[in-house]
Amino acid sequence: MPRTADHLTLNWVPGQPRNPEAYVLKDPETRYRQRYLDMRLTVEVRQVLSARVKIVDYIRSFLKNKKFEEFETPMMNTNAGGAIARPFVTHHNDLNMPLHMCIAPELLLKQLVIGGDERVFEIGRQFRNEGIDTTHNPEFTTCEFYMALADYYDLMEMTEDILSGLVKELTGGYKIKYHANGYDKEPIEIDSTPPFRRIEMIGELEKVANLNIPKDLASEEANKYLVDACARVGVISPPPFTTARLLDKLVGEFLEETCVNPTFIINHPVIMSPLAKEHRSNSALTERFELFINKHELCNAYTELNNPVVQRQRFADQLKDRQSEDDEAMVIDEIFCTALKYGLPPTAGWGFGIDKLSMLLTDSLNIKEVIAFPLMKPQEKPASA
């Protein structure tokens, strides 16, 4: 029998494999450029987009039930802060100044916590001037929340509650089927039953890749060791060869590949986490985790750094990476540094990718499937006769 949810009769149930042969329009270019036609001809297209709406509704309701307040922060700023990413830059004619499209609302949401609102969240768009592939679009949607008097342990538990509860709400259970290897292959099973696996980043990387990374990760010795290690194991990292980039590439090769069911990779080094608080028992690490499912990152969270002196030094360290031609490194955000001096209470922050989660729960292999109007290059005009 078809499953009925919120007045929408589903011939396909979210979390179960989809049948690509059901599409009337076969050409992806036509489907994405003329989405209205795709929706009119194939009911499953509407069901996928409706499932995304339900995902957003569930997360919003979960947070509001936890007494979080929803805010909207600016989409254009004088600084592109809050994440390590390359921004889009535009120009304001009247003010005659450059503006950066939002790459993350983090620094503004934390200023709301400094202002006294202890539980805040935003579901909104972010813009990053980076590559486009099957899991990345230049504009995408995230949910970020910040919670005073909490740490990253609290957020790991909340992440388990949100994800497992959402999967059960949409599918009736904790297990979903996903065509990770293509629709012509058997789907894999992804089990979201809590608790999720937790693995220590550096310790597990050394164990799996047979490495012995120098303890002082900020040293030249550590950088040279990682350059040599990448060459030895065949991991290719584009320049600049900063320690943070090299570690990220090694983690992607050896740890992320093991994360099919929901898995927390925890306790990232300080050099990879400029906004995260130092770990309470190891000053080289931070209280941070990333959630991976089907080998892809969906969530990034940490206990927030709330020491204004240390935060300024972290920004300065990032500036060194920018001077090494790493144009994704952060810049010093003077407004945020000033705000921190007024006191950010112990706070934990969380960000989750709505698009990638929607892909998983709708068995979509391309991010364009879960975006109503994905960015497309202009069609070339036919040559004149």
- Domains, the chain, in order of start with CATH, read 20-195+342-369 (3.30.930.10)
- List the structure tokens of 350: 């969380």
For 150-196, the pLDDT digits (tens) are: 999 999 999 999 999 999 999 999 999 999 999 999 999 999 999 99
For 20-79, the pLDDT digits (tens) are: 778 899 999 999 999 999 999 999 999 999 999 999 999 999 999 999 999 999 999 998
Residue 242's beta-bridge partner residues? none
Tallying the residues shown for the chain, one arrives at: 385
Helices (H), the chain: 28-33, 35-41, 43-65, 106-114, 152-171, 201-209, 220-233, 243-254, 308-323, 334-340, 354-361
Q: Is the pLDDT assigned to residue 11 strictly greater than 60?
A: no
Give Dmax over CA atoms of the chain in angstroms: 73
What is the residue-wise DSSP string for 85-144? SPPPEEEETTTTEEEEE-S-SHHHHHHHHHTT--EEEEEEEEE--S--BTTB-SEEEEEE
DSSP class of residue 7 equals T
